[in-house]
Amino acid sequence: MCFESFKKSWKDLSINLFVPIVIQNIIIILLLLIFFYINGLFSIIMQGQNLTSAQLLDIFYANPAKLLASFAAFIIFALITNSGFIAMRLGLTKAIIQKRPMSISNAFSYGQTKLKDVLLIKILQFFLIALVALVIIVISLVLSLVNEQIMVIILILLTLIAIILLGLGLLFSYAILFIMETTPFNAVKKSFVYFFSHKKTAITAVLLIILVVIPSIILNFADLSNIKALSAMALIARIIYGLILTAWKDLFIFNIYNSNKNFH
């Protein structure tokens, strides 16, 4: 199932999928620049200067209310914008794998109707991860009273297990949300049920995604090169590959689930 979906996803790639990704990133950059401007950081950033911890503390103590309020506003607007364009992109993804026509304008309208669901699923995932982290911290604190060395080992093991289980368990959340047209809570719940019933499929999917991500990691190393021409080329290649990778990963996960959606 995975390998067929892997090949099909590359064939399904459409330039339309890049539109919401590009617009989303442009808006996030603009919001970030507005945040910098409001807090007097714009000129420093534009000059390419590195902010020291002392400078950051000075900015914070000069007007903490403005900094915190503008940061909160940035997070809220960025989260809403991000959710809207993710909904638009995933709407297009669903249409492509189900071989239904959908224009960019229709995808935008569809994205607005699914914005709340995407936002809610993000919040659910955040609270789930926070809850698991809290449990691990509590267990670690209790173990530290007994033996600190054992605590460190258990902490590392629990963290690794949590990352693996949460990553695999939440892998199909968005695919279920859009393909099954269910609620965010059911999408998260069914994603875990699907993973535990299809462990081999989920693990193979993640391994294939990691394999496809490797070129991006190589490009990151090239970007750190002292050769400016190579660094610039690597940056451009990384941006283009990042766009392709984001669109392809959605198609891949959606194709896997769509090929076996009658499981539920």
Residue 226 scores a pLDDT above 90: no
- 97 pLDDT band, cuts 50/70/90, is very high
Residue 222, pLDDT score: 60
- The whole-model pTM stands at 0.87
Lowest-pLDDT range of 3-7, 24-28, 47-51, 158-162? 47-51
- For residues 13 and 251, is the Cβ–Cβ distance under 8 A? yes
- pLDDT of 262 reads 62
Compute the distance between CA of residue 99 and CA of residue 37 in angstroms, rounded to an integer.
45
CA distances from 182 to 188, 232, 246, 249 (A): 10, 44, 23, 21
Output 41 or 79, whichever has higher pLDDT: 79
- Mean pLDDT estimate for the chain: 87
**Cα(261)–Cα(94) distance, integer angstroms:** 13
Higher pLDDT, 235 or 71: 71
On the question of pLDDT at 193 being above 70, the answer is yes
The rounded distance, in Å, linking the Cα atoms of 60 and 63 is: 6
Whether the pLDDT of residue 131 is over 60: the answer is yes
pLDDT exceeds 60 at position 7: yes
The pLDDT, as a whole number, for residue 49 is 60
Least confident segment among 111-115, 118-122, 219-223: 219-223
pLDDT (0 to 100) of residue 257: 94
Average pLDDT over residues 141-161: 87
Domain range for 202? 2-263
Number of domains in the chain: 1
Mean pLDDT over residues 174-178, rounded?
Answer: 96
Choice among 60-64, 111-115, 226-230 with the minimum mean pLDDT: 226-230
User: At residue 264, does pLDDT exceed 60?
Assistant: no
224: pLDDT strictly greater than 90: no
CA–CA gap between residue 39 and residue 134 (Å, rounded) = 33
Q: Which residues contact 186 (CB under 8 A, 6 or more apart)?
A: 176, 180
